[in-house]
Amino acid sequence: MTKRFDGQVAIVTGASRGIGLGIARRLVEEGARVCLTARKPDALEEAVASLGGAEHAIGVPGKGDDVEHQAQAVKQTVETFGSLDLLVNNTGINPVYGRMVDLDLDAARKIVEVNALSALSWTQQVHRAWMGEHGGSVVNVSSVAGHRPAPGIGMYGASKAMLSHITEELAVELGPGVRVNAVAPAVVKTKFATALYEGKEEEVAEGYPMKRLGVPEDVAGVVAFLLSRDAAWVTGQVVVIDGGVTLTGGV
């Protein structure tokens, strides 16, 4: 595997498992050193160990939408590794299922805080600490649920649509020194998404032209491309990673 990220340093949020850990692993394999963030210290410690330990990664536990946690993670990353060139905003929640018209507004606010505003805040922190002077690249993990109505997870979809738009606005504001892009996966086989396919995977996958659901590595490869110099003239884009399901009208 090429070492596109030799000498570069990344923060990947929500990275103790699933898509976030898959992205972090791909970056380490390509030469980056990575700070992982997540809520649970034990899971984070295991994730760091799986990436080869302190030589390659550190973990900073905390809530993704906590500004103080964000500042500490940024500070610790720069102090430990000497720079902060890459940011992947992967933290996301979907604590409710049902019609938006019945949704508790406090839950709606929390979804927007974690899924959209925290990505903006992380980008602000990283820009002030390093990227504003030195440049860098940001990738936000959005969702195909933000591209069209997603019954049952409508507020999640709305928050991801907001994140996609934040991506475009930041790309305009921060160029040319900082590129900002996003990916929009369909159903990826992670613990976060089990309710969407558990016990019915073959049935769900049948609606995908590729006839399978995604795995974290499918997302990680595209994220690595967008972060790398191979995508040096790409900014403000939301790349759909969906096995073709949106072509057939699915989400």
Which residues are annotated as catalytic?
156
Residue 93 CA to residue 157 CA, distance in Å, equals 11
Alpha helix segments (H runs only) across the chain: 18-29, 41-50, 67-81, 105-112, 118-126, 132-134, 154-174, 201-205, 216-227
The helix/strand/coil state of 136 is strand
Helix (H) or strand (E) holding 216: helix 216-227
**What whole-number distance in Å separates Cα of residue 238 and Cα of residue 221?**
15
Query: Do 10 and 37 form a contact (C-beta atoms < 8 A)?
Result: no
38 strand-pairing partners: 61
Give the closest residue to 51 by CA, choosing from 64, 67, 34, 65. 34
Q: How far apart are CA 119 and CA 113, in angstroms?
A: 9
Query: Among residues 87, 155, 76, which one has the least CA distance to residue 121?
Result: 87
Residue with tokens 């759909």: 240
Running DSSP on this structure, what letter comes out for residue 235?
A: -
Q: Is the dihedral of CA 196, 145, 61, 50 positive or negative?
A: positive
What is the DSSP pairing of strand 178-185 with strand 136-141? parallel
